[in-house]
Amino acid sequence: MSSDRSSAQVELLQMFVGSIQVRAGLRDGQKWVSGGFVYDDPNRLTKLTVIEGDTKKVVQFYPAATEAIRLPQHQLKPDLSAEERAQCLSHLGVSAAAQRTYQSVKK
């Protein structure tokens, strides 16, 4: 789900077919006027007030996924050179910018 924040009310865009938000009643083009969700807490009820045409409605859902996914976990060897580390992370799909951000946070 994304939104266009250029107006006083936020327009919802790019709702994913079959997503929890769509099943709860959110649609592209609705105006988000109030409410929100808590990051990192999928067990907390999300409550949004939206306007669709002339109708204001409240949509509620839990932002947790209904299906589990496999998420591979990788741990790099601790004795890698900076160049080897960068090559491994690049192979895993980590961008150079993200690698630099991680290094600056780590220090």
pLDDT in tens, 62-105: 887 767 777 777 777 888 888 888 888 888 777 777 777 655 55
| pLDDT at residue 50, rounded to an integer | 93
The answer for residues whose C-beta is within 8 angstroms of residue 41's C-beta and 6 or more apart is none
C-alpha 59/C-alpha 93 separation (Å) is 36
Which sequence spans correspond to the domains of the chain?
2-61, 73-107
Is the model more confident about 28 or about 4? 28
